[in-house]
Amino acid sequence: MRQTDERGFALPAVIAVTTLLFTLVTFVAALAVRSHEAGRLYEERMRVKYAAETGIAKMQQEWALGQRKQDTLLDVGGVTVYVQVEEKPDNALHVVATGYGEKGVQQTISALIDQKTLAIINWIGYHGNKKTEAPMEHSKRHLVLIGMMGTGKTTIGQAIAAQVPLPWKDTDQALVAKWGCSIADFFALYGEERFREEETQMLEACLAEPSLLLTTGGGIVLREQNRQLLAERAFVVHLDAEPEEIIRRLTQTNEERPLLKGDLRQRVYDIYEARRELYRFADVRVDTTGKSIDEMATAIVRAWQDHV
Ligand SMILES: Nc1ncnc2c1ncn2[C@@H]1O[C@H](COP(=O)(O)OP(=O)(O)OP(=O)(O)O)[C@@H](O)[C@H]1O
Ligand SMILES: O=C(O)C1=C[C@@H](O)[C@@H](O)[C@H](O)C1
Ligand SMILES: [Mg+2]
């Protein structure tokens, strides 16, 4: 009887002490995990902030070399940095750099820069996870990729299509579907001028739709009329790549590109040089050299989301 009493008393006490100990250990462990996570988040914020600042410095360097002052997507040590530039009175540039890191960390820093000397007039400040002031230009309701053959418009477009709720069209693919023959065959049958006419009509039809993700043929910028239409109605991203990288990529594909027939290297260098200025009207430029398709797609989606 006594034994039963002792057991009856001991058991609840053991359970209570064990429960208390368990709760205490769990609490301390949770605190440790949380402070470790907070530390990691703090480190990530610092890394992204530093990348955004470096992004501004990189653009200052490029502008010093004569590069056009234009919005640009950069990769700074694995952090995507979107640098937006706005002309201000008194020869000043307002430059806003947003770095996008891991764990949803986003840091923005902005500065006023003297257009002539490229010196920083003053830093405007940092803010975390805050959208930059990019007023939506409602007429620019399409997302369009332009760029030289082989810069990845179609491939990156496909990856973007999986991330944004926009219908995706590719002018080359739409033309092939319309004609029922390849671009190379169309060129052989009707020549380049007729192709350009068809391309413009297709562009007009696409831009008349409510809102599209549109990937274009490399030569869409040849016609002034097309450049104007695009500048008015689309948020235009210029995919760029070094000619050597373009040559490497195009050597690995079987797709026939009529304008590259003959000496591929020479053709790529010639066309690149001839069109270099024609791509410059884009809202954003991005260098895809050495970058993966997914990382490009994610960076462009961010720039688009900033635009809308
Ligand atoms: N970032 C990249 N890294 C490595 N390879 C790539 C990259 N982007 C595209 N490629 C490859 O380069 C080739 C050409 O790409 P794609 O057809 O998308 O170019 P495009 O810009 O659409 O060319 P076009 O103007 O002729 O339509 C494909 O084989 C593609 O897989
Ligand atoms: O750069 C160009 O002129 C071209 C690029 C391709 O996308 C096709 O539109 C066609 O081969 C012509
Ligand atoms: Mg293409």
For the stretch 129-177, pLDDT in tens is 544 444 445 689 999 999 999 999 999 999 999 999 999 999 999 999 9
Instruction: Tell me the ligand closest to 288's alpha carbon.
Output: 1
Q: Are residues 117 and 169 in the same domain?
A: no
- Annotated binding-site residues for ATP read 150-155, 257
Q: Are residues 39 and 119 in the same domain?
A: yes
Q: 135-155 b/e with 16+ CB inside 10 Å = b?
A: eeeeebbbbbbbbbbbbbbbb
Residues contacting 226, CB < 8 A, separation 6+:
199, 200, 203, 220
pLDDT at 8: 64
pLDDT at 260 over 90: yes
Instruction: Tell me the ligand closest to 184's alpha carbon.
Output: 2
Average pLDDT of span 72-86: 92
Q: How far is the CA of 149 from the centre of ligand 2 (A)?
A: 6
Q: Are residues 155 and 110 in the same domain?
A: no
Q: Are residues 40 and 165 in the same domain?
A: no
Q: State whether the beta carbon of 218 lies less than 6 angstroms from ligand 1.
A: yes
Ligand 2 binding pocket (C-beta < 6 A) is 149, 172, 183, 217-219, 257-259
Q: Are residues 153 and 302 in the same domain?
A: yes
Q: Are residues 225 and 298 in the same domain?
A: yes
Q: What percent of the chain has pLDDT over 90?
A: 67
pLDDT at 271: 97
| 183, 195, 240: residue to mutate for ligand 2 pocket, most atoms within 8 A of CB | 183
Taking a C-beta distance cutoff of 8 angstroms, is the pair 296, 288 a contact? yes
Q: In terms of C-beta distances under 8 Å and separation of at least 24 residues, what long-range contacts does 53-61 make, across chains too?
A: 53/97, 53/109, 54/81, 55/81, 55/83, 55/97, 55/99, 56/83, 56/95, 56/97, 56/109, 56/111, 56/113, 59/83, 59/85, 59/95, 59/97, 60/113, 60/118
pLDDT at 242 over 80: yes
Taking a C-beta distance cutoff of 8 angstroms, is the pair 93, 113 a contact? yes
Top-confidence residue, 253 or 14: 253
pLDDT at 124: 76
Q: How far is the CA of 31 from the centre of ligand 1 (A)?
A: 48
Q: How far is the CA of 286 from the centre of ligand 2 (A)?
A: 20
Residues contacting 252, CB < 8 A, separation 6+:
none
41: containing domain: 1-134
| Range scoring the smallest mean pLDDT among 115-124, 130-139, 151-160, 189-198 | 130-139
pLDDT at 121: 86
Number of domains the chain is built from: 2
Average pLDDT of span 280-304: 95
Task: Pick the residue whose CA is nearest to atom 9 on ligand 1.
Answer: 152
CA dist 195 and 153 (Å) reads: 19
**Mean pLDDT computed over every residue of the chain:** 89
Q: State whether the beta carbon of 249 lies less than 6 angstroms from ligand 1.
A: yes
The residue among 82, 117, 134 that closes a domain is 134
Q: How far is the CA of 27 from the centre of ligand 2 (A)?
A: 63
Q: Are residues 18 and 152 in the same domain?
A: no
Q: Are residues 89 and 225 in the same domain?
A: no
Q: Of 147, 149, 145, 186, give the one whose Cα is nearest residue 264.
A: 149
ipTM of the predicted structure?
0.98
pLDDT at 88: 85
- Three-class SS of residue 217? coil
Q: Are residues 75 and 35 in the same domain?
A: yes
Q: Of 58, 94, 61, give the one whose Cα is nearest residue 76.
A: 58
The residue among 106, 134, 162 that closes a domain is 134
Q: Are residues 16 and 146 in the same domain?
A: no
Beta bridge partners of 105: none
The CATH number of residue 262's host domain is: 3.40.50.300
The residue among 109, 134, 159 that closes a domain is 134
Q: Are residues 99 and 162 in the same domain?
A: no
Average pLDDT of span 252-258: 89
Q: Are residues 259 and 181 in the same domain?
A: yes
